[in-house]
């Protein structure tokens, strides 16, 4: 006797277009790009701010308003440099700084280039808002282990990461 409340037993697989001429980026390269982007961001934003904080004499720490101003200004300069290169590379060919360094890029699932707006709004902003849901970030990342190697944020934005 079959249980009418049992889950379906059908085999469900992600479909990968066999005629696509682009190869999906491997999981390790995508992980490396994510980590490297974090390192680049930290080096350009947090390190200058930290240098500003450490170059102020210790005795005046907390009492000197120039410490805060110098830290903020150096952090903002680093953020502007990071933003310039990130926007430039993403707009030119769908690559963050690390994706460019590792030779991978983001495209639409139909093979056309992914726009800056699609990458910014759908892959980053919408995904960032949804990530307030507990465990969403973990589920998003675990989708990389499907056959198509597309995370949830790739599916939301209708994009895929391929070898450049």
The 10s digit of each residue's pLDDT in 39-71 is: 999 999 999 888 877 776 655 555 566 667 778
| Helix, strand, coil percentages in the chain from 3-state DSSP, rounded to 5 | 60, 5, 35
SS3 6: coil
Q: Is 57 left (phi over 0), alpha (psi -120 to 50) or beta?
A: beta
Domain segments of the chain as ranges? 27-163
pLDDT for position 15: 63
pLDDT in tens, 15-24: 655 555 789 9
Neighbours of 6 (CB within 10 A): 7
Mean pLDDT, range 12-39, rounded to an integer: 82
Q: By C-alpha distance, which of 99, 113, 94, 110 is closest to 29?
A: 99
How confident is the model at residue 51, as a pLDDT?
Answer: 83
Rounded distance between C-alpha atoms, residue 134 and residue 6, angstroms: 27
Dump pLDDT digits (tens) for 81-131. 999 999 999 999 999 999 999 999 999 999 999 999 999 999 999 999 999
Between residues 66 and 26, the one the model is more confident about: 26
Q: Is the pLDDT of residue 162 over 90?
A: yes
Hunting for tokens 């005795």 — which residue is that?
59
Q: Could you tell me the sign of the dihedral formed by the alpha carbons of 146, 149, 151, 152, in that order?
A: negative
* Model-wide pTM > 0.85: no
Helices 47-54 and 65-93: crossing angle in degrees, nearest 10, is 170
Give the pLDDT score at 9: 81
The structure tokens 């277009």 sit at 17
């Amino acid at each position: 006797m079959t249980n009418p409340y049992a889950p379906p037993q059908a085999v469900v697989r992600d479909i990968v277009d066999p005629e696509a001429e682009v190869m999906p980026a491997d999981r390790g390269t995508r992980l490396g790009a994510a980590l490297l982007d974090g390192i680049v961001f930290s080096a350009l934003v947090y390190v200058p701010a930290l240098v500003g904080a450490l170059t102020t004499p210790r005795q005046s720490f907390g009492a000197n308003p120039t410490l805060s101003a110098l830290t903020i200004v150096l952090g903002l300069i680093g953020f502007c440099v990071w933003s310039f290169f990130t926007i430039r590379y993403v707009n030119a060919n769908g690559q963050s700084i690390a994706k460019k360094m590792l030779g991978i890029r983001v495209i639409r699932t139909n093979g056309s280039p992914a726009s800056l707006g699609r990458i910014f709004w759908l892959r980053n902003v919408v995904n960032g808002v949804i990530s307030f849901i507990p465990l969403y970030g973990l589920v998003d990342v675990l989708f990389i282990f499907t056959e198509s190697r597309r995370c949830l944020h790739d599916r939301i934005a209708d994009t895929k990461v391929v070898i450049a």
